[in-house]
Structure 1
Amino acid sequence: MGEKVRVGLIYGGRSGEHEVSLQTALAVMKAFNYDKYVIKPFYITKSGEWRAGGFLAAPPQELQELHLADEAALQGTDAILPLFSGLANQQKAVDLVFPLLHGTFGEDGTIQGMLEMADIPYVGAGVLASAVGMDKVLMKKVFAHEGLPQCLYRYFNRLQWEKDPAFFIMEIEIALGYPCFIKPANLGSSVGISKARDREELIAAINYALRFDRKVIVEEFIDAREIEVSVLGNDEPQASVPGEISPSNDFYDYKAKYIDGKSQLHIPASLPEGTAEEIRELAVRAFQAIDGSGLSRVDFFLHKTDGRIYINEVNTMPGFTPISMYPLMWKESGVSYAELLDTLIELAIARYEDKQRLDYCGDNA
């Protein structure tokens, strides 16, 4: 067998989804084929400190092992330098990076930009797609330009809200009505999301969302089924069978996703063949609209009464926890967890090699 591929896993991070990232990292580490890969862990604490461990010959068994608190772990600047070593001596510490960071500073294009500067292949969306996929307002504007069906929404930033809250309350009540959903524009895993049934709850929900981001989006309520599709690929992406979420709570919030384990997942979703195919096609269109690559999970609403389809959002770094929809939908589509990891690494290398064809300096102009 040839030389093993050295994969750097970056996880943790300075976001409200830190714990989700740890769950994802543990699941991914356990799933890797250690006959083909060696894993170098890079853990980012909640305060932003980097820690790097040595190459793993076997997967960790407990979350505590992911914190790399032992004295042998590199910390601070020493931990991050191995990612940039190739710039100095032409020998990279890892062959590619799998960023398993959710939310701020990980899913928003920031870590992707750092890896671009370090000239390292990495799994998942690039800088632009990550940034657009993270910002729900910009995402919806891109979707509107592409003619993708969406629910009604309004948005504003902290300064606008503080200057004239009465205007935005009136606009929301007239345009969207109650109930409605209030979300931080830049966050995932349903962190900071609330459902408001009246004006008092609306004001409280907006102030709560502003704890997590300077920009808030408010969406109309749709009595709908929640349908999701996994997308895999670069320039020729493929869509999995659709799955459906039956939330254990009033909506699919953080607790329903990661804590109580009571939400029901239906894979494949019980849908007419034509509806399922339309949703899969819309998922690919949404992925291409943001210039996605590698992987994404695309979420939809399917109106319970008239059957209309609304795209909700694209998640460019979906969870890989044992109860996460992304790998489960691919499993039902005939792609195992191990095969999925292999494909994502192949896609990352293919995208990197394709970018090497570009003339960044204009020397051949």
Structure 2
Amino acid sequence: MKTIFVFYGGPSVEHNVSVNSAKAVLNALNRDKYHVQPVYITKEGVWLRLPEAKEAFENVEQMKRETDGQSIAQSLAAFLTSHDFSDGKTVFFSVLHGTYGEDGGIQGFFETVDVPYVGSGVTASAVCMDKARSNEIMEQNGIPQAKFVVLTRHQLDTQGLDADGIVEKLGLPLYAKPANCGSSVGVVRVTEKEQLLEAVEEALQYDHKIVLEEEIWGRELNVSVIGNESPQGSIPGDFAMETGYFDYELKYKNPDIVPIIPAKIPEDRFCDLANLAARTYEVLGCGGTARVDIFYTEEGELKVNEINTMPGMSDLSMTPVLWKATDGTEYTELLDKLIDWGIDAHAKKKALVRTFE
């Protein structure tokens, strides 16, 4: 049997989101095929390996532990000596969201330990986490998206804010977004030019670089993409909600939001959405799975909003439900596929020539 190490928590503003996702993943993994090994990472970055999870977790508090004063380095040393990671039967499954989990850092650690892992590699994770870089790459490859402006803390401090120029290019309303955050953390909607500086300062609390984007008036549809070299897009999903802006509180703390699967748009557009999502996934070099969020305007235009290389897996998340509706894939089967793709990607990388004499 393979041992699946599931990592969650982490020093990120999305710590709690990660724990909620991990609960679903841990509970859905097939105990007949895997030894399921939880690894909780505290908000301070300390790694704590829990006992093997032979039964499902009833609540997230069961998945957490307190530190006994060890440093991050000490906890990593304890983790690395707690298991034979060269046994050929181990796979890493990160459910870490946002910075630390989706920015290429943890993927680099997995590469160093030389263990197969689920999801995108170092480069794709880093690029997709950085909305500025991913927007620029999508623009270069003809992926339709909102108009945008990139602004750094250094530029603001040394050059000031060209509010007139930004509004002229993007119009109003517009959004200020931290370049390297997720789950709508730090995102501010700006309706008047006089609000722009305050919104920029708020977004810059979460990252030294932000993206300013025009508001696209339309529905934000979710498409899940899975696979490595031959990615497939799911049918689109939507959420029924009264507000026009899907913020953090609504995403994760409102029990009344209702997923609509499939989204209520003409069925002949399903293929267009799936193809655009898969194309975006390919252009950015993703692997395993990702969720692509696409605006569908009143005129029927499609514009990519963003891509998430570690989509939410909580009870309110789209990914497992979308694949159930697309082709009947059950959650446990989906996790099996992700694990197999991680093993395949690792094997292909190991087959590459790494020395030259």
TM range (shorter): over 0.9
Which deviations, in whole Å up to 9, do the C-alpha atoms of 1:88-145 show, x marking residues without a partner? 9774597010001000111000000010010011000000110111000110111112
Residue 313 of structure 1 corresponds to: 306
Partner Cα separation in structure 2 for residue 313 and residue 268 of structure 1: 20
CA distance in 2, matches of 1:94, 1:69: 29
- Residue 41 of structure 2 aligns with which residue? 44
For 1:348 and 1:277, the matched residues in 2 are separated by 26
- Greater shift, 13-22 or 353-362, is seen at 353-362
Equivalent residue, structure 2, for 1:164: 159
Counterparts of 1:271 and 1:107, CA distance in 2: 31
1:99 aligned to which of 91, 94, 97: 94
Within the candidate set 123, 126, 134, 1:128 is matched to 123
- Please give the secondary structure, in 1, of the residue aligned with 2:210: strand
Residue aligning to 2:2: 5
> Is 2:45–2:72's contact at 8 Å kept on the other side of the alignment?
no
CA contact (8 A) 1:178 1:196 kept: yes
Give the AA of the match of 1:345: I
The alignment status of 1:347 with 2:341, answered yes or no, reads yes
- 1:211 matched residue in structure 2: 205
Q: Residue 75 and residue 8 in structure 1: after superposition, are their counterparts in 2 closer, same or farther (change >3 A)?
A: farther
SS in 1 for 2:221: strand
- Match of 1:172, as an amino acid? I
| Cα separation, 2, equivalents of 1:23 and 1:276 | 29
SS at match of 2:24: helix
Task: Show the counterpart of 2:77.
Answer: 81
Distance 1:94 1:187, change over 3 A: farther
Report the 3-state secondary structure (helix = DSSP H, G, I; strand = E; otherwise coil) of the residue aligned with 2:332: helix
Task: Determine the structure 2 residue equivalent to 1:30.
Answer: 27
Q: Tell whether the 8 Å contact from 2:47 to 2:79 is kept in structure 1 after alignment.
A: no
Q: Indicate yes or no: 2:271 matched with 1:274.
A: no
Q: Which amino acid aligns with 2:36?
A: I
Please tell me the root mean square deviation across aligned C-alpha atoms, in Å.
Answer: 2.1
Amino acid at match of 1:327: P
Deviations, residues 204-248 of structure 1 (Å, cap 9, x unaligned): 211111110000111101110111100010001111111123344
- Structure 2 residue corresponding to 1:327, chosen from 297, 320, 336: 320
Distance 1:279 1:113, change over 3 A: same
Contact 1:8/1:94, CA 8 A, preserved across alignment: no
CA distance in 2, matches of 1:61, 1:318: 22
2:178–2:211 contact (8 Å) kept in structure 1: yes
CA distance in 1, matches of 2:183, 2:251: 8
Aligned partner of residue 311 in structure 1, secondary structure: strand
Q: Report the alpha carbon displacement of residue 275 of structure 1 after superposing the two structures with TM.
A: 1.6
- Give the secondary structure class of the aligned counterpart of 1:149: coil
One-letter amino acid of the counterpart of residue 319, structure 2: Y
Q: 1:312 to 1:128 in 2, by over 3 A?
A: same
Is 2:176 the partner of 1:182?
Answer: yes
Which stretch of the first structure deviates more once superposed, 223-232 or 246-255?
Answer: 246-255
Task: Give the gaps of 5 or more residues in structure 1.
Answer: none
* In structure 2, distance between residues paired with 1:185 and 1:92: 38
| Residue 153 (1) aligns with residue 160 (2) | no
Residues 281 and 206 of structure 1, relative CA distance in 2, 3 Å threshold: same
Q: 1:141 aligns with which of 113, 128, 136?
A: 136
**Structure 1 residues 261, 85: CA separation in 2 closer, same or farther (over 3 Å shift)?**
same
Unaligned stretches of 5+ residues in structure 2: none
Paired residue secondary structure (2:7): strand
Q: Do the aligned partners of residues 188 and 216 (structure 1) sit closer, same or farther apart at CA in structure 2, a change above 3 Å counting? A: same
Q: How many residues align?
A: 356
In structure 2, the residue corresponding to 1:16 is in which secondary structure?
A: coil
Q: SS at 2:56's partner residue?
A: coil
Give the superposition deviation at 1:165.
2.9
Deviates more, 1:91-100 or 1:247-256: 91-100
Kept after mapping to 2: 8 A contact 1:182/1:196: yes
Alpha-carbon distance in 2 for matches of 1:346, 1:51: 26
What amino acid is aligned across from residue 103 of structure 1 in structure 2? G
CA contact (8 A) 1:97 1:123 kept: yes
User: Aligned AA for 2:118?
Assistant: V
- 1:297 aligned counterpart, secondary structure: strand
Post-superposition shift, 1:34?
A: 1.2
